[in-house]
Amino acid sequence: MAGKKMTLNPAGSHSIPAHVAIIMDGNGRWAQSRKMPRLAGHHEGVKTVERIIRAAAEANIQYLSLYAFSTENWKRPGSEIDGLMNLFRHFLKFKLPDLKKNGVRLLFSGRIDGLPDDLANEMKKVEEETSKSERITVTICVNYGGRQEIVDSVNRIIELGYAGLITEERISAAMYQPKIPDPDLVIRTSGETRLSNFLLWESAYSEFYFTEVLWPDFNGEELQKALTYYAGRERRYGSVKGA
């Protein structure tokens, strides 16, 4: 995570979202526009992940969630999937020292048991080795789907033998990362304006920010734009202004 330090200055600490979630979109289009293979875009996207983790920490964001690989992404060509899995392996193996040095706690969210065993084991190792880090908590969503998470939550409640009515609180407590607060701000890059099955339950009252910028080109300045937009929003959670 070495590189030039970027300082973000949102309009007042009270305006900084505690939890920012990002749908990292546009790696393939970035590569194709440069007549490069799609995997080259994913390589650049990993560099952006490092850059944005650093920028988010400097902005005093406490939680950052990144949509890395959805349950639908298994439909992509096998060569691209293999390349992505190898990128995950490389990132976890070689970036762990930097993560620990910079106070980054890393968590993983999704159907991890559906990933290759060696990768799932490496994820568990990284979670354990960064568990004491306190500067920022980064959740990487891998083999993740919002609908699947809700289904898994309800099934977990059933498996644990809970009796009585199912409540929102009970479902929330059975989600993949129940100790992480719901995202205040959801960002999507590349010009698309949909959630694509990302944090459906958790983003019920999130603010949304969409940008045309492709993920490999996203940087601290672009994150600042999103934070400035968020600072100008009035969050009422369904209430009427002035009520």
Known catalytic residues are 25, 73
CA–CA dist 197, 176 (Å, integer) = 15
* CA atoms in the 13 A half-sphere facing the CB of 185: 26
Among the listed residues 172, 205, 210, the one whose alpha carbon sits nearest the alpha carbon of residue 188: 210
Please name the residue ranges forming H helices in the chain: 27-33, 38-58, 78-101, 117-129, 146-159, 168-173, 220-231
User: Exposed, middle or buried, 136 (CB in 10 Å: 0-12/13-18/19+)?
Assistant: buried
Q: Is the dihedral of CA 56, 221, 50, 45 positive or negative?
A: positive
The residue count of the chain comes to: 243
The residue type at 72: E
Q: Assign 106 to helix, strand or coil.
A: strand
Compute the Cα dihedral for 224, 225, 231, 234 and give only its sign.
Answer: negative
Nearest CA-CA partner of 45 in 76, 77, 88: 88
User: What's the CA gap between 138 and 142, in Å, rounded?
Assistant: 13
